[in-house]
Amino acid sequence: MSAAILAIGTEITRGEIVNTNASWLADTLVGLGLEVTAMEAIPDDKAQIVATLRRLSTEHQLILCTGGLGPTTDDMTSECVATLLGVPLVRDAASLEAIRERMARFGRTMATSNEKQADFPQGAQVLENRKGTAPGFGVSIGKARAFFMPGVPREMKTMFTESVSPELSPLVTDAIVQIRVKTFGMPESSVNDRLSGVESEHDVALAYRAHFPEIEVKVVARGADRTATEKRARAAADAVIERLGPDVVYGEGAITFPEAIGELLQAAGLRLGTAESCTGGLVAEVITERGGASAFFDGAIVSYANHVKTSRLGVSKELLAAHGAVSAETARAMAQGALDALGVDVAVATTGIAGPTGGSSEKPVGLVHFAVADHKGVSDRQMRFPGSREQVRKLSAFAVLALLRNVLRNGHDA
């Protein structure tokens, strides 16, 4: 089984938008046990669309195509498929009505240009679009099965999940079990090294997916018997967790690193605040990225200017003068000051040089001090992060949360 993913749209080949549909579909297909051996993107050009589909249908058994189903003259996927198959376009009354209804619901009247969205190559299997006006369709091109979906990611994902994915199960005979192990704090090459041998030992495949700065290790087991496959996946995931250790592995499944820390805080009945300099609000931002943070997070003081460190966090002018704003002492004082200022049980603080300018030989760009304080004590760390300003800030936010996780699990440094 070899699958191809094709995106149709000049906005992609001109680089105006990034083709995230392709990676989402590939990742999802791999999860279903299918292999993607080609990803292509081509402009809105009739001859090229027909020729590309013809070629792909001789090389692959499955083609997933996105884009070109809209109402404008640029959108010509249905027409091209009809040409390729040598069949006429036929208007589907049910789809026409669904488009009309959907537009009416949003207070719009259907334009003539929308009508063509209900035209499909004769004999096509129509796929409902619950999130937009353009329905999709499925056809056979020679020995290949091809599905055509809208280019809007939200519409495509819903259509794939609800209408295309069920059609693919006959293509896969094996049971597929996936377990996602979430990690932070170890570079991908080291994760890779540590896990060498797990694949052959447990007869699974490991895939790595970086959501910077997190790395997800996906354990994929495949076999005829579901129960045995689940058991194998579980054993392999346990081996992954054991080899990487609890300081690196923070959870399984869809959970994010900040969410995992939120769970620890809630379990301990502790409320969190942040005091931020170089991260400029990013620590608070990642903590509140997913809903539900109000259960453990009270607020933040971003003390970008030194006078705010003094007035709002009680960092003394003497301490700032003696050690500088970027120092372990300032990070500790900021975290301690935030406990009172925000009325919280535990506080984290960051201060550093995110760059691209402002570094010196003594305090280079990328140097960040961070601290965690509660009513039992304070712990601090310093790191020198590589990369751009954006990377330094993101790594700083995650590193201070990693220190918090360490304090919550193991207490303060002795």
Q: Which residues contact 151 (CB under 8 A, 6 or more apart)?
A: 7, 8, 9, 21, 66, 67, 68, 69, 70
Residue 42 φ/ψ, nearest 5 degrees: -135, 160
Residue 280 CB, shortest distance to a copy of itself, in Å, is 3
Measured from the CB atom, the residue of 112 and 357 that comes closer to a copy of itself is 357
Q: Which residue lies nearer to a copy of itself by CB, 72 or 227?
A: 72
Q: Would you say how long the chain is, in residues?
A: 414
**Residue (209 or 409) nearer to a copy of itself, CB:** 209
Minimum Å gap between C-beta 342 and a copy of itself is: 6
Q: What's the closest the beta carbon of residue 410 comes to a copy of itself, in angstroms?
A: 27
Which is closer to a copy of itself, CB of 139 or CB of 365? 365
CB of 157 to a copy of itself, least distance (A): 12
Q: How far apart are CA 291 and CA 86, in angstroms?
A: 51
Parallel, antiparallel, or unpaired for β 2-8 and 35-42? parallel
CB of 302 to a copy of itself, least distance (A): 4
**Contact predicate 223/176, CB 8 Å:** no
Instruction: Tell me the closest approach of the beta carbon of residue 45 to a copy of itself, in angstroms.
Output: 7
The two three-digit tokens of residue 171, written as one number: 């293509």
Output the smallest distance, CB 15 to a copy of itself, in A: 3
Look up residue 214 and give its two tokens: 């997190």
Q: Which two tokens stand for residue 167?
A: 């059609």
Q: Which residue has the tokens 């539900």?
A: 292
Q: How far is the CB of 307 from a copy of itself (least distance, A)?
A: 6
For residue 88, whether the previous peptide bond is cis, meaning omega lies within 30 degrees of 0, is no
Closest contact distance (angstroms) between CB of 21 and a copy of itself is 10
Eight-class DSSP state of 133? S
- With CA atoms as reference, report the closest residue to 347 among 389, 403, 291: 403
**Cβ count within 10 A of residue 252:** 15
Choice between 162 and 390, CB closer to a copy of itself: 390
Nearest to a copy of itself of 170, 291 (CB atom): 291
In the structure encoding, which two tokens stand for residue 248, read together?
Answer: 């690196």
The minimum distance between CB 122 and a copy of itself, in angstroms, equals 29
C-alpha closest to that of 373 among 272, 267, 250, 266 = 272
Q: Which is nearer to a copy of itself, 24 or 172 (CB)?
A: 24
When the beta carbons of 65 and 124 are compared against a copy of itself, the nearer one is: 65
Please report the beta strands in 11-105, taking only residues with DSSP state E, as ranges in sequence order: 35-42, 62-66, 89-91
Q: Classify 15 in phi/psi space as left (phi over 0), alpha (psi -120 to 50) or beta.
A: left
Write the DSSP assignment of 152-214 as a string of letters: SHHHHHHHIIIIIHHHHGGG--SEEEEEEEEE-SS-HHHHHHHTTTHHHHHT-EEEEEEETTE
DSSP code for 39: E
Query: 14 or 143: whose CB is closer to a copy of itself?
Result: 14
Q: Which is nearer to a copy of itself, 148 or 296 (CB)?
A: 296
- What radius of gyration, in Å, describes the C-alpha atoms of the chain? 27
